[in-house]
Amino acid sequence: MGNPEWRRDSAWLVHVLVRQRDAASQEERELYDIAILAARRYPITASGTADTEAAWDEVLTAIDRVLVARQERHMEAVRAAQAEQR
Closest CA to 10 of 67, 63, 47, 70: 63
Q: How confident is the model at residue 69 (pLDDT cuts 50, 70, 90)?
A: very high
Q: Is the pLDDT assigned to residue 71 strictly greater than 90? A: yes
Instruction: Inform me whether the pLDDT recorded for 4 exceeds 80.
Output: no
- What is the enclosing helix (H) or strand (E) of 8? none
Q: Are 49 and 21 in contact (CB under 8 A)?
A: no
User: What average pLDDT is seen over the chain?
Assistant: 94
Confidence at residue 1, expressed as pLDDT on a 0 to 100 scale: 79
Q: Can you tell me the mean pLDDT for 41-46?
A: 97
What is the value of pTM for the model shown? Answer: 0.88
3-state helix, strand, coil in the chain (%, to 5): 70, 0, 25
Q: CA 6, 36, 69, 78 torsion: positive or negative?
A: negative
